[in-house]
Chain A
Amino acid sequence: GAGVSQSPSNKVTEKGKDVELRCDPISGHTALYWYRQSLGQGLEFLIYFQGNSAPDKSGLPSDRFSAERTGGSVSTLTIQRTQQEDSAVYLCASSPGDRNEAFFGQGTRLTVV
């Protein structure tokens, strides 16, 4: 596709359930980011993948959060035992290189009820 694709666009889940959010980056982009944006807030960094290097996981808020990137392409963000405070828009972005900007997907709006 032409841009970063995220699925689902909306997800409503019950507290305590696990959820998986998917990101398809732009083909050929080596860097991939996950961010979280709560209502009216800025972008909170979660995790950064760059090529074959070990990911920067310094932004993951708890061990309930994990992410993987298979084959240097598609990425999945998993949240286990969801809590109401996990409700937010989860944004994925990819970039072709270090000097280049990140291109953002439209996000997944997660609501935990």
Chain B
Amino acid sequence: AQSVTQLGSHVSVSEGALVLLRCNYSSSVPPYLFWYVQYPNQGLQLLLKYTSAATLVKGINGFEAEFKKSETSFHLTKPSAHMSDAAEYFCAVKPGTASKLTFGTGTRLQVTL
């Protein structure tokens, strides 16, 4: 069975600082991996996805993530945080075809001045 672990339910960074949100997965087959963002009182929006092409994936709003098979990780990064990045971030895994999409418990990002 697949699973996703997001380390840190809350992360706080200063504006302009590096953002690093951690995601580790388990899957018995090569997975498809996703990061979603949920702004307050809004729906989920896709940030980026890995579908077995390039291991470094670039998404919207300056975010990127690197798929590391040896570490079973798909951490989300952004070089410089903006106040507008404050939101809940969810990592999700889909192990191969015809399978369900499983989400992690989410990480709430706070950006301070």
B residues 88-108 in Cβ contact with A at 8 Å: 90, 94, 96-106
A residues 76-108 in Cβ contact with B at 8 Å: 91, 93, 95, 98-107
Interface size on B, residues (CB 8 A): 23
**A33 CB–B CB distance under 8 Å:** yes
B contact residues around A50 at 8 Å (CB): 98
Closest 5 CB pairs of A and B: A42-B105, A98-B97, A43-B103, A48-B100, A104-B44
A contact residues around B104 at 8 Å (CB): 42
Q: Distance in Å from the Cβ of B108 to the closest Cβ of chain A?
A: 9
Most A Cβ at <10 Å: residue of B32, B94, B96, B100: B100
B residues 73-87 in Cβ contact with A at 8 Å: none
Beta-carbon contact of B106 and A42 below 8 Å: yes
**A41 CB–B CB distance under 8 Å:** yes
Query: In the bound complex, what is the Cα–Cα distance between A56 and B44 (angstroms)?
Result: 22
A contact residues around B103 at 8 Å (CB): 35, 42-43, 45
Query: In the bound complex, what is the Cα–Cα distance between A80 and B106 (angstroms)?
Result: 29
Most B Cβ at <10 Å: residue of A41, A102, A105, A106: A102
**A62 CB–B CB distance under 8 Å:** no
Beta-carbon contact of B90 and A45 below 8 Å: no
Query: In the bound complex, what is the Cα–Cα distance between A39 and B43 (angstroms)?
Result: 14
Query: In the bound complex, what is the Cα–Cα distance between A104 and B90 (angstroms)?
Result: 13
Beta-carbon contact of A101 and B43 below 8 Å: no
B contact residues around A100 at 8 Å (CB): 51
